[in-house]
Amino acid sequence: MDPCFELTDRDGLARRGRIKTPHGIVHTPVLFPVLHPDPARQLVTVREIRERFHVEAVMTSSYILRRNEELAQRAIEKGIHSLLGFDGAVVTDSGAFQQHVYGEVEASPSEILEFQNAIGTDVATPLDLFVEPSSPREEAEAGVVETLRRVAEARKIRGDRILAVPVQGGLFADLRRKSAEGSEPLADILAVGGIVPLMDSYRFADLFRMLSEVRSSLAPEKPLHLFGLGHPMLFAFGALLGADIFDTASYHKFARRLSLQFPQGSMDLDEVREDFCGCALCDRNPLYRVREMSLAEKERAVALHNLSQCLLEMSRVRHAIRRGELWDLVEERATGHPALQAAFREILDHPGTFLATEPPSRRHFIVRSPLSLRLPAIEKFRRKLEEYRRWPPSLAEIATLEVEVRRPSEPSPAREPEAGGPAPPAPTPIGEVPRELLELYPIGSMVTPEEFAAGTDRSSPANPAGTGATRGVTPLRHALGILRWAWGPESEQVFRSGKVTLRYSRSSGRLREILINERPAFVVGNEGIPHPTFYGGELLHSVLPAPVHRVVANEDASSFVEAGRTLFSQHVLSAAPGIVPFEYVLLTDPRGRLIAVGRALLASHEMGRFRCGVAVEITAHRKSSPAKSPD
């Protein structure tokens, strides 16, 4: 069964999305609590998991279940959902990890997969060979080859199950890539295995470097599971690197040793004298009182607390993705432990991992520490600025026939002269920036500690990129600068097609709208970028060489897109290279006729690959008559 993975929001490599299973939709990034197949061994009941925590999917071990003959028989007769008493999605692991730890081999890989089929799991996992991070190369390579052989076999006998395919390879980047590429055509879900030892020894920098290296070889349209990455302090990092699925047995394991999990780290229950948690469970059962309970009660209370913290952190991650604030959360989490700080630096050392999906803007750019100025948003701006500086100077400044400036507050002449030539570039926290670009994200949205330092009057911003930042350049130069920045140097030709009117906002004083021949052509967003109306799109379409900034819809979808319907990924014929999520694009039909303007949700390399979900939301379109959607 195709889990029909689709995205609804994203931030960097992180995605919010949906996976279909025979037992309901699962919202990602998701955490699967791991359940012991024997309910008697569970500290938290299934009922609590479903009713109190609203969990959509759980994971259990087919290996442990199969070893218990009586339970295994019941699972075959009643089905795994009924055995567990859980009506949501059930994911079964193959037991590779347990086999690796306990060294027992009692069943063939195909028997283990057939067993998962027989108990009616929603997601089955073939039996992989667990490769240790310390494994020598020959051993790691043999593990990868054997795992791929077993996966190919599993693919034939999986029935109608969703197949999660383990990717092994230890710390060898090329072996991980080989494993990822070999798994891709066979997998519904890709699962990175062999990472628990890195987590247990706090080798987060090695873990995240390996994930960055393998990311581009993992098909973006398939959900990505990080096997066993079950501590809440790692969820934001995992999601940032593109993981969609996590599982945790650790809420339970930690409870057995009375260790409390928090997104900032762990702590022994014994050390707690105050009730500072505030989670719903600790509220009823304050931590200082838990210390005085019997061992069995303590374990249960800690397990509930741990699971609550894990699920809460995963909700926080989803919320942060939705708001475009995941980097903020990661930066905060990185302060929890030096190993996380080291891992964060490792991530920042490889900004290239993120650039293909780095959005053109976010709500804010908050400078929390000197490391903030190394985030991919800054790296992207720097690279683009180098390119911008290499472009030939604008000719439209000379050739634009007529410019009218409409400022509600201060009436200005049609052309504001630049006294003594153009103003020099402005100093900013990331170096000198031409003044016409100062309102652009991240410079224009930057919130820095300097602005709030003692003695700073916020009504006259110290931040050079504040309101009025573009003073010193003519309105025409500013408008041309941001147009060329967003749409490339050729786009300035749209200013040569007639009279240009620049309309400024009454409240913010910022450029808000660009009209050409008195028709609205661009609306300037808060992030400083001009977004085309349909008319603006037509002007751009006539001056920009194809395929830049274009997404081509297939024949089936074109008439719907033309009438304003969303363009779904499966209907994308082609997309220009370099399109990133949340960027505005021009949509054409297969013959190259402009049919709409929209905002991409997928990057170029993802369009058409996702079989489900939105590729581009339409913001303006050619025809206004509604049509029936093909989906």
Q: How far is the CB of 323 from Zn ion (least distance, A)?
A: 25
96 binds, among Zn ion, ligand GUN, none (CB under 5 to 8 A by kind): ligand GUN
Restricting to residues 230-289, name those near Zn ion by CB under 5 A.
Answer: 277, 279, 282
Single residue of 29, 37, 120, 194 touching ligand GUN by CB under 6 A: 194
The pair phi, psi for residue 401, each rounded to 5°, is -75, -45
With contacts defined by CB under 6 A, name the span among 74-82, 89-97, 295-303, 477-485 that binds ligand GUN. Answer: 89-97
279 binds, among Zn ion, ligand GUN, none (CB under 5 to 8 A by kind): Zn ion
608 binds, among ligand GUN, Zn ion, none (CB under 5 to 8 A by kind): none
Token code pair at residue 101: 């730890």
Q: Buried (b) or exposed (e) across 328-361, using 16+ Cβ within 10 A? A: bbbbebbeebebbbbbbebbbeebebbbbbbbbb
228 binds, among Zn ion, ligand GUN, none (CB under 5 to 8 A by kind): ligand GUN
Single residue of 5, 32, 97, 560 touching ligand GUN by CB under 6 A: 97
Query: 3-state SS string over 493-546?
Result: HHHHCCCEEEEECCCCCCEEEEEECCEEEEEECCCCCEEECHHHHHHHHHHCCC
Q: How far is the CB of 193 from ligand GUN (least distance, A)?
A: 2
Beta strands in 331-430 (DSSP E): 365-366, 403-406, 426-428
Q: How far is the CB of 314 from Zn ion (least distance, A)?
A: 15
Single residue of 94, 135, 361, 448 touching ligand GUN by CB under 6 A: 94
Cβ proximity of 92 and 76 under 8 Å: no
Taking residue 452's Cβ as centre, other Cβ atoms within 10 Å add up to: 10
Q: What share of the chain is helix, strand, coil (3-state, %, to 5)?
A: 40, 20, 40
Q: For residues 230 and 21, give the distance between their C-alpha atoms in angstroms, rounded to a whole number.
A: 22
560 binds, among Zn ion, ligand GUN, none (CB under 5 to 8 A by kind): none
Residue 305 within binding range of Zn ion, rule CB under 5 A? yes
Measured from the CB atom, is 151 or 551 closer to ligand GUN? 151
Measured from the CB atom, is 251 or 584 closer to Zn ion? 251
Q: Which helix (H) or strand (E) holds 246?
A: strand 245-248
Give the count of residues interacting with Zn ion (CB under 5 A).
4
Compute CA 47 distance to the chain's CA centroid, rounded to the nearest angstrom.
31
Cβ proximity of 92 and 123 under 8 Å: yes
Residue of 11, 93, 122, 247 marked catalytic: 93
Measured from the CB atom, is 34 or 320 closer to ligand GUN? 34
Single residue of 3, 133, 166, 528 touching ligand GUN by CB under 6 A: 166
Measured from the CB atom, is 59 or 603 closer to ligand GUN? 59
Told to judge if 275 belongs to the known catalytic residues of this protein, a careful annotator would answer no
> Closest CB to ligand GUN belongs to which residue?
193
125 binds, among ligand GUN, Zn ion, none (CB under 5 to 8 A by kind): ligand GUN
Measured from the CB atom, is 227 or 246 closer to ligand GUN? 227
Give the count of residues interacting with ligand GUN (CB under 6 A).
13
- In sequence order, the β-bridge partners of residue 404 are 501
Single residue of 96, 144, 272, 437 touching ligand GUN by CB under 6 A: 96
Q: How far is the CB of 95 from ligand GUN (least distance, A)?
A: 7
Measured from the CB atom, is 228 or 238 closer to ligand GUN? 228
Cβ proximity of 555 and 596 under 8 Å: no
The pair phi, psi for residue 585, each rounded to 5°, is -135, 160
- In sequence order, the β-bridge partners of residue 233 are none
Residue 93 within binding range of ligand GUN, rule CB under 6 A? yes
- Contact code string over 112-151 relative to ligand GUN, x by CB under 6 A: -------------x--x-x---------------------
Measured from the CB atom, is 195 or 615 closer to ligand GUN? 195
With contacts defined by CB under 6 A, name the span among 40-48, 91-99, 174-182, 387-395 that binds ligand GUN. Answer: 91-99
Q: How far is the CB of 147 from ligand GUN (least distance, A)?
A: 9
Distances in Å between the alpha carbon of 447 and those of 211, 364, 378, 466, 467?
31, 7, 13, 10, 13
Q: For residues 262 and 278, give the distance between their C-alpha atoms in angstroms, rounded to a whole number.
A: 12
Residues 6+ apart with CB under 8 A from 291: 269, 270, 272, 298
Distances in Å between the alpha carbon of 252 and those of 44, 100, 249, 330, 459?
8, 20, 6, 25, 52
Taking residue 134's Cβ as centre, other Cβ atoms within 10 Å add up to: 10
Token code pair at residue 453: 């330092």
The catalytic site residues sit at 93
Residues lying near ligand GUN in the complex (CB under 6 A): 93-94, 96-97, 125, 128, 130, 166, 193-194, 196, 227-228
